[in-house]
Copies of this chain bind each other. A is one copy, B any other.
């Protein structure tokens, strides 16, 4: 039925060892033999059995990509970019979505990757030391996107610089009351753990730099959804002394904020300025000024680091410098323009 190394060997008139070596391109095979084997394999339509090969070598040439949520643009984008390099390098991609605390507990509670993958590319999850150890115990090389851990490769996004750049931009335009719309996932959220507060720190840095006081009332923390952005912006507008601009920690939050502002009859950027964070595919069409942090590159770099570490290289950490993308959602505050 299925053609195996033996079939090819018979046809080529060599041993199975030679077939195996010839087909994998290992050195130490005469060119003529190699050619003969290759031809026999082609004629028979032979294709190696992954299971057998994996069993014999102990390596799977598969990478598990672990994400909290598939349906968010950010994750899909990271996976896509990572997948492209992995498949180019000959790795299969095993997809795992850990969308609930239960799934997460289950996943890390048993050696679910054992024998299934050689490495895990973990996106956004803030792994506990135990979770990381579990991965190691299963013989997985690890690469992280959105967090850093000793012993694992990772790609580090300089979010503090991003937060700084976003806020400085507003400051330069003349804004003095600037709110920060941060991400604060609830314990039950798939993201779990503590999300990086660096964007907030960058925001504070910029304020301090400008000699402006940090007003805690202007620092909000909500879940990373458009809906929460809507609600948070609404609450900002009801303040006695409302801000004239907001730095959102994600574009989704910014989209929500824009929606609220429009609904309130306010003009963006004439009445209110908004800066997002992500450079989401929809940011351009909405004209959102935002911070680009090379989402696809994050996936690409993590995948490359993982491949390298499976090739024996030491764990590496890539760096990404966010940059401001100015579009139409930011302008000087009305007060200034009126006065001019």
Contact = CB atoms under 8 A, between A and B. Distances in A.
Interface string A36-75: 0000000001010111101100001000010001111101
Interface string A91-127: 0111111010000000000110011100000000000
The number of chain A residues touching the other chain, given as a range, is 35 or more
Contact of A255 (B52, B70, B84, B282): B282
A326 interface: no
Contacts of A83: 70, 95, 97
Interface string A199-239: 00000000000000000000000000011001000000000
A286 interface: yes
A22 to B, nearest CB: 18
A264 to B, nearest CB: 14
B79 A95 contact: yes
A328 to B, nearest CB: 10
A73 B71 contact: yes
Contacts of A114: 47
A177 to B, nearest CB: 26
A89 interface: no
7 contacts: A45-B111, A51-B51, A65-B95, A79-B95, A93-B96, A226-B281, A256-B285
Interface of A: 45, 47, 49-52, 54-55, 60, 65, 69-73, 75-77, 79-80, 83-84, 87, 92-97, 99, 110-111, 114-116, 226-227, 230, 255-256, 259, 281-282, 285-286
